[in-house]
Amino acid sequence: MGLACQVLVNAALQNGVRRLVLSLPEPLSAFSAGQYLSLTVGEKAFPFSIANAPGADHLELHIKATENSADSALVEQFLDGHPSSVTIAYPLGNCFLNQLPEQPVILIAAATGITQIKSLFDWLITQQYAQKVHLYWGVVTPEELYLDDYFKTAAAGPNITYTPVVSRDDTNWLGRTGLVGEAVQHDLKNLNDHLIFVSGSPGMVYGTLDLFTATGFDAKNMRSDVFDYAPRAL
């Protein structure tokens, strides 16, 4: 049985990303930073990370169309109709924070995986987390960094670093280039002293895990929804 939510905002952000803001459903269920919901469209349900931290009076989603995807086209067609309400199921997912870690945190996102990471990041900030928070966001082109200004402003805090990483050569990009996992490994030598959250495709998540474990990282210190929905065969 789904939960009904009013649509408060349905508007474009940047680079093809849609911002969908929903009222909190009744009956209200608490969610934890990093969890997601499923959006019902017709006979199907589609998972989307919640972009805001718990404690707000809404649920915010950032949705980007995927080329050559029938499911994505179905979602876009539905939202282009500007429904006044939608049906969701939540909270979902086991990759979340509901208490402050004792160790520093590394947050790693690829592309729109930044949505889940933003929820975790915002919650740590609102909780006045005293440990270091390192946020890395890997994209293909600089245009995909639709939250760049947001994180640059937030990273003004003394215990926060934000590092965007662009994988494709771009003469107009003066920042870090390459793979986001390699940037993390280059900057932070003591990965086992951190709790690491990774949000991206299964290939990206497992590639990052393998990169880290090859130099002694203990996999128990990494969290990702991918480990649940796309477990790797032993």
| Tens of pLDDT, residue by residue, the chain (234 residues) | 689 999 999 999 999 999 999 999 988 889 999 999 999 999 999 999 999 999 999 999 999 999 999 999 999 999 999 999 999 999 999 999 999 999 999 999 999 999 999 999 999 999 999 999 999 999 999 999 999 999 999 998 889 999 999 999 888 899 999 999 999 999 998 999 999 999 999 999 999 999 999 999 999 999 999 999 999 865
Is 85 exposed, middle or buried (CB count within 10 Å of its CB: 0-12, 13-18, 19+)?
exposed
Among 148, 78, 82, which residue's Cα sits nearest to residue 109? 148
CATH number at residue 9: 2.40.30.10
CA dist 218 and 95 (Å) reads 17
Q: Are residues 62 and 172 in the same domain?
A: no
Q: Which residue has the tokens 């590639």?
A: 207
Decide the pairing of beta strands 3-12 and 85-92. Answer: antiparallel
Q: Are residues 157 and 53 in the same domain?
A: no
CA dist 7 and 23 (Å) reads 7
CA dist 177 and 190 (Å) reads 22
Report residue 17: phi and psi, to 5°. Answer: -90, 130
CATH number at residue 199: 3.40.50.80
Q: Are residues 88 and 165 in the same domain?
A: no
Q: Are residues 88 and 113 in the same domain?
A: no
Instruction: State how many domains the chain has.
Output: 2
Could you tell me the sign of the dihedral formed by the alpha carbons of 105, 110, 111, 115, in that order?
Answer: negative
Instruction: Give me the domain span that covers residue 39.
Output: 3-92
